[in-house]
C-alpha cells in the first residue's frame, strides 16, 4: 500500500487509531458497524470545549454570589416563621447544591492527568445514572486506577449509544477478568441512533486517555477494556 499524505484535519491515513473521527473495531481497523464521526461536529464540540474553563469560572463566581444572597434571605425568612416560605427556601437551597455538584463534575473534566482508584460498580453507576439507563448484569468487586472523570464521561457516551433512544432504557453488561484488566461488553441497538459515530469517537478518545480502550465488534457489541488497580 502506498503512503498517503497526512491529512492535517485528522490522523494518519495508515494509522486509523490516530484519526479523531474514527473509532475502532475488534481487529483495530475502523469500525464497520457505525459511521465515522463528522469532523465538523468534532470541531464544534472542541470549540465549545475551548470555552469551558472560562465558563466554569464565571458560573462559579455567580453561584457563590447566589449562595450568599440565598443564605441571607433564609435568615430573614426564619423570623417570619412561615412554613410555605421555609419550604421554598429549602427547595432553593437544595437546587443550588445540585447545580454546584454538576459544576464540580464539569470542572473535573478539565483535570485529565490525575489518576485515582475507584470501584468498578461506582464508576458504572455514575456513568449511567444521569442518563437514566438501568444497568443489569453482575459486576465483580474490582478496583480500577484511571482518570475517573474522563472515564465516566466516556462510558456514558458509549452507554448512550448502546442503549438507543427513548424512555425506560436498559443495558446488560457482561464482564471478563483477564490478567491486569477487565473487559466490559454490551449489545448495541440496531439501527444505531443518530450521530452514534460522533459519540463513539469521543467515547473512544476519553476512555483511551483515561487508561482503557473501546472497540466495536461485527456482532454489534461495544467492548471496553479497563486497567485494574
Q: How confident is the model at residue 113, as a pLDDT?
A: 65
Let me know whether 58 and 104 are in one domain. Answer: yes
In tens, the pLDDT along 43-90 reads: 777 777 777 777 777 888 888 888 888 888 888 877 777 788 888 888
Same domain, 222 and 150: yes
Look up residue 129 and give its three cell numbers.
Answer: 445514572
* Assigned domain for 62 exists: yes
Do 128 and 89 belong to one domain? no
Question: Do the domain assignments include residue 146?
Answer: yes
pLDDT mean over 166-185: 90
Query: What pLDDT does residue 4 have?
Result: 29
The more confidently predicted of residues 136 and 12 is 136
What pLDDT shows up at residue 40? 76
Q: Of 74, 91, 108, which marks where a domain is finished?
A: 108
Residue 173 lies in a domain: yes
| Structural domain boundaries, residue 93 | 48-108
Q: Are 109 and 55 in contact (CB under 8 A)?
A: no
Claim to verify: residue 28 and residue 63 sit in the same structural domain: no
Segment 166-172 shows an average pLDDT of 89
What's residue 2's pLDDT?
31
- Kindly state whether residues 183 and 212 are assigned to the same domain: yes
Same domain, 84 and 133: no
**Are 124 and 139 in contact, with CB atoms under 8 Å apart?**
yes
Give the residues across from 101 on adjacent strands: none
Residue 17 pLDDT: 58
Q: Are residues 160 and 201 in the same domain?
A: yes
Mean pLDDT of 141-148: 88
In a domain, 124, yes or no: yes
Q: Are 143 and 105 in contact (CB under 8 A)?
A: no
Residue 28 lies in a domain: yes
Q: Note whether 33 and 134 are same-domain residues.
A: yes
Nearest Cα neighbor of 17 from 201, 218, 210, 219 is: 201
In-domain check, residue 179: yes
> What's the pTM value of the predicted model, to 2 decimals?
0.69
Q: How many domains does the chain have?
A: 2
Contact call for residues 181 and 223 (beta carbons, < 8 A): no
HSE toward the beta carbon, residue 17, CA cutoff 13 A: 8
**In terms of domains, do 133 and 194 share one?**
yes
Amino acid at each position: 500500500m502506498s503512503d498517503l499524505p497526512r491529512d492535517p484535519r485528522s490522523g494518519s491515513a495508515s494509522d486509523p487509531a490516530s484519526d479523531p473521527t474514527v473509532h475502532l473495531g475488534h481487529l483495530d481497523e475502523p469500525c464497520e458497524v457505525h459511521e465515522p464521526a463528522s469532523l465538523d461536529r468534532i470541531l464544534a464540540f472542541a470549540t465549545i470545549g475551548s470555552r469551558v474553563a472560562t465558563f466554569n469560572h464565571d458560573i462559579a463566581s455567580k453561584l457563590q454570589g447566589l449562595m450568599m444572597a440565598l443564605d441571607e434571605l433564609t435568615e430573614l425568612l426564619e423570623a417570619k416563621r412561615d412554613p410555605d416560605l421555609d419550604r421554598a427556601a429549602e427547595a432553593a437551597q437544595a437546587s443550588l447544591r445540585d447545580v454546584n455538584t454538576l459544576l464540580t463534575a464539569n470542572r473535573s473534566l478539565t483535570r485529565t492527568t490525575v489518576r485515582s482508584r475507584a470501584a468498578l460498580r461506582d464508576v458504572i453507576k455514575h456513568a449511567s445514572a444521569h442518563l437514566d439507563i438501568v444497568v443489569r448484569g453482575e459486576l465483580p468487586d474490582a478496583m480500577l486506577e484511571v482518570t475517573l472523570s474522563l472515564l465516566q464521561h466516556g462510558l456514558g457516551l458509549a452507554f448512550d449509544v448502546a442503549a438507543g433512544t427513548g424512555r425506560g432504557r436498559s443495558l446488560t453488561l457482561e464482564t471478563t477478568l483477564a490478567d491486569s484488566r477487565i473487559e466490559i461488553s454490551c449489545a448495541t441497538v440496531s439501527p444505531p441512533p443518530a450521530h452514534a459515530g460522533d459519540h463513539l469517537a469521543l467515547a473512544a478518545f476519553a476512555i483511551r486517555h483515561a487508561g482503557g480502550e473501546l472497540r466495536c465488534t461485527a456482532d454489534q457489541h461495544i467492548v471496553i477494556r479497563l486497567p485494574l488497580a
